Amino acid sequence: MGKPTGFMEYKRKVPSSKDPSERIDSWEEFVEPLNEEALQQQGARCMDCGIPFCHVGGDIDGEEVGCPIHNLIPEWNDLVFRRQWREAYERLSKTNNFPEFTGRVCPAPCEGSCVLGISEPPVTIKSIECAIIDRAFSEGWVAPAPPKIRTGKKVAIVGSGPAGLACADQLNHAGHEVTVFERDDRIGGLLMYGIPNMKLDKELVKRRVDLMAAEGVKFLAGTEVGRDVSGEELLANFDAAVLCGGATKPRDLSIEGRGLKGIHFAMEYLRGSTKSYLDSRFEDGNFISAAGKDVIVIGGGDTGTDCVASATRQKCRSLIQFEILPQPPDARTPENPWPFWPRILRTDYGQEEVGAVFGKDPREFAIMTTRFEGNEAGQVKALHTVHVKWVAVDGRLQPEAIPGTERIYNADLVLLSMGFLGPEDLLLDQIGVERDRRSNARAEFGDYATSIPRVFAAGDMRRGQSLIVWAIREGRGAAREVDRFLMGTTALP
Ligand SMILES: Cc1cc2nc3c(=O)[nH]c(=O)nc-3n(C[C@H](O)[C@H](O)[C@H](O)COP(=O)(O)OP(=O)(O)OC[C@H]3O[C@@H](n4cnc5c(N)ncnc54)[C@H](O)[C@@H]3O)c2cc1C
Ligand code: SF4
């Protein structure tokens, strides 16, 4: 512990962001990193707790707390306080293959469980993580390190999101010959085509993929397993396969008018936007535009927020975001104590930007859409809604319409962002993998073996739509089990 009195001397400080009304003219990242002195002080706030809840990543009363990949947080906080940046980078690399992604877009469950958070704002863990890896890249410490010995074993990984990439990285360093199959034209999964560029610069994804390629991982983009390569071929040509295809089947809103023009799933909108940006800086026009439109985003999660921020950048005429759940409280309630993830009202970058442009938070809480109305051309023109209260039916909370709260909202673009129902069917069906009751690939956490011999599953495809840090944890865990299966023993964590 660098400075025993640090947590009493220094206040929590997080990186500032460019002014929302300016940054909406750009698709570039907008967070301005802390300087070295500020980072040192933030590292000094860490108390080096006897039980560092920040890094436990364990289950308490059925709820996960702390960092799922067990980042050695107190250790690198101390090293940053001492300005031993290279050592901090080495410590960070022991647990996290891709800190440049989590350091930018992880919601930071570690901070939700930080012991300092009981009485003060928690340690600025995520920003310190980001600063360590950004410094490591700029100093040239992150260089290709191919394995010295190859085992001669071949592993196929299907899907190049954070789970597939983490799994590939671990197995490659263990000496196996790894091929990553990706159906999309660019590698990265939702890191590339889900999260927009202003939250995670795609050059950073490419930089990591290039590094892994230089270390020997083979990437086959534009190759869908189940269509371009059959499941049978895959199993004939590789010693083991890991299915990391994500959980991208979107939840639909099957109400009157759903077939009208102008109603899209969030991922159609976000993927098209990022692809067009990367291909031609939007010159090709191959994207759904919100320009000049009244936009309604249905769904209040991360994906909905990314739609809000994208539509604001495209200069929509108005923007409203619906959330069916009630507005969360401003502070923890007694039912939601430390060290659990604080279920409180957060204003994310997208809502901040709408506030700056339109003078008002776009969110409407506890609201349900009952039907879409169209014009004679079959284009959506309005949403009929009603406010709801949540009532217990057979022990489960359900939304119930409140009579007299019906309202009509004009809209000519509607983006559906109500979560995901599980993995797509083609890959799992063709390989014949058993599913669990939520339709995910059935494989035990920690074991990752599916019902088909030599086939493993990890990430969202196994656990359902989750977080990048969980995908990394599962990718690493599946790599360990594949290595054990191939070699009879493993040194992977
Ligand atoms: C819009 C959006 C924003 C998000 N923002 C955040 C955030 O800010 N922070 C956070 O922590 N999490 C966020 N998430 C969640 C996070 O991105 C996912 O939990 C994570 O990417 C899951 O990783 P994965 O590797 O399991 O799957 P994915 O990232 O979904 O990758 C799966 C890949 O497999 C490919 N694939 C599927 N089937 C095949 C096949 N048959 N053959 C070849 N390739 C195939 C897909 O094309 C895809 O590239 C967000 C999710 C979305 C949708
Ligand atoms: S819980 Fe917070 S204060 Fe304690 S070791 Fe972790 S980061 Fe430091």
The pLDDT tens digits of the residues spanning 325-368 come to: 999 999 999 999 999 999 999 999 999 999 999 999 999 999 99
pLDDT of the residue at 58: 84
Residue 81 Cα to ligand 1 midpoint, Å, equals 34
Tens of pLDDT, residues 451-471:
999 999 999 999 999 999 999
- pTM (2 d.p.): 0.97
CA distance to 73, 82, 102, 328, 335, per residue, from 340 (Å):
18, 30, 19, 15, 10
- Ligand 1 atom showing the smallest separation from residue 163 Cα: 25
pLDDT of the residue at 218: 98
231 in ligand 1 pocket by Cβ < 6 Å? no
- Ligand 2 atom showing the smallest separation from residue 74 Cα: 5
Domains (range + CATH), the chain: 6-139 (1.10.1060.10), 154-248+421-487 (3.50.50.60), 252-418 (3.50.50.60)
CB within 8 Å of 6: residues ≥ 6 apart: 41, 43, 44, 45, 46, 81
pLDDT of the residue at 190: 98
Among 12, 56, 114, the mutation site with the greatest number of ligand 2 atoms within 8 A of its Cβ is 114
Residue 344 Cα to ligand 2 midpoint, Å, equals 21
Rounded CA Rg of the chain: 23
pLDDT of 2 > 90? The answer is no
- Strand 363-364 vs strand 367-374: parallel, antiparallel, or unpaired? unpaired
Tens of pLDDT, residues 102-156:
999 999 999 999 999 999 999 999 999 999 999 999 999 999 999 999 999 999 9
Average pLDDT, the chain: 97
Question: Nearest 5°: phi and psi at 454?
Answer: 75, 5
pLDDT of the residue at 59: 87
Confidence of residue 281 (pLDDT cuts 50, 70, 90): very high
474 in ligand 1 pocket by Cβ < 6 Å? no
Closest residue by CA, ligand 2 atom 2: 114
pLDDT of the residue at 427: 95
Residue 477 Cα to ligand 1 midpoint, Å, equals 17
Residue 23 Cα to ligand 1 midpoint, Å, equals 26
CB within 8 Å of 213: residues ≥ 6 apart: 219
Confidence of residue 214 (pLDDT cuts 50, 70, 90): very high
CA atoms of 79 and 3, how far apart (whole Å): 11
Residue 303 Cα to ligand 1 midpoint, Å, equals 11
Closest residue by CA, ligand 2 atom 8: 46
**pLDDT cut 70: percent of the chain above it:** 100
* Distance spanning both ends of the chain, measured CA to CA: 26
pLDDT of the residue at 3: 87
Tens of pLDDT, residues 48-103:
999 999 998 888 888 989 999 999 999 999 999 999 999 999 999 999 999 999 99
Residue 170 Cα to ligand 2 midpoint, Å, equals 28
pLDDT of the residue at 78: 97
307 in ligand 1 pocket by Cβ < 6 Å? no
Number of C-beta neighbours around residue 239 at 10 A: 17
187 in ligand 1 pocket by Cβ < 6 Å? no
- Polymer length in residues for the chain: 493
pLDDT of the residue at 162: 98
Closest residue by CA, ligand 1 atom 20: 468
Question: Nearest 5°: phi and psi at 33?
Answer: -60, 155
Tens of pLDDT, residues 360-387:
999 999 999 999 999 999 999 999 999 9
Name the closest ligand to CA 464: 1
Site residues for ligand 2, CB cut-off 6 Å = 46-49, 52-54, 73-74, 77, 114-116, 123, 125
